Amino acid sequence: MPKEKNEKGKIPKLFLGSLDDLTKPAPPSKKEEKDLKHEKKQKTLYISLDTNRKLIELYGEEGRRQSKIIEDAVDLYYYLKKALGERKFDELLEVVKREDVEFLREYLSKFKL
């Protein structure tokens, strides 16, 4: 009986990793990576009314589920940030925040897409 009590009262080991290990998710294994595309998670998004209006407009134009639009937007944001690097990505976001479509077209034409 005392042995069971000792195991329950064990002090947990401290984390030995770096700060990056705590702030970044571990890379998924091949099996988990497959499941990530199909496993549904509950999402709670807090967005501005303006963003909600844009989402509704996209939903109306494309006729897709709102969750699919959000997933595409997250993928776009993630891969642009990886591809452009921190400085160029922040620069691009500043151009997008102007909400001027013509200026954004000019800016993107510099990338020769």
From first to last of the 113 residues of the chain, give the pLDDT tens digit: 455 555 667 777 776 777 666 667 667 666 666 666 666 666 677 888 888 888 888 888 877 788 888 889 999 999 999 999 999 999 999 999 999 999 999 998 987 76
pTM of the predicted model as reported, rounded to 2 decimal places? 0.58
Amino acid at 24: K
- Which pLDDT score, from 0 to 100, does residue 103 have? 93
- Which pLDDT score, from 0 to 100, does residue 1 have? 47
Q: Which residue has the tokens 């990338």?
A: 111
Nearest to 67 by CA among 93, 45, 50, 46: 45
